Amino acid sequence: QVQLVESGGGLVQPGGSLRLSCVLSVSIFGLYDMNWYRQAPGKQRELVATITGRGTTRYTDTVQGRFTISRDNDKKTTYLQMNNLKPEDTAVYYCNGKRFGLDYWGQGTQVTVSS
């Protein structure tokens, strides 16, 4: 049974930082592209960041320069470091692992940015 577990969400003031973690328990983690999505109330789910098995990264424009996605293949873990958080970053953040037809999703973790 494959497990994808994410953690690290919480309440933070504007300008603060959070680090999300996502563990994907598969045999060869390095074969999977890892993604972070987010969804705010009343809005569509948005792709925030992607990191391939080789380490190539991509970000949506609104988080470029503030967020950093990374991975540790030995630990089968992907991270999303979020700096200089803004109220508009408030959302449920979902970790996703994808390889061909395989598509795994985390349970979601709430990130709230508010003073």
Ramachandran quadrant class, 48 (left: phi over 0; alpha: psi -120 to 50; beta: rest) = alpha
Given a cut of 70, whether residue 1 has pLDDT beyond it is: no
Are 7 and 21 in contact by the 8 Å Cβ rule? The answer is yes
Confidence of residue 36 (pLDDT cuts 50, 70, 90): very high
**Tens digits of residue pLDDT in 46-69:** 999 999 999 999 999 999 999 999
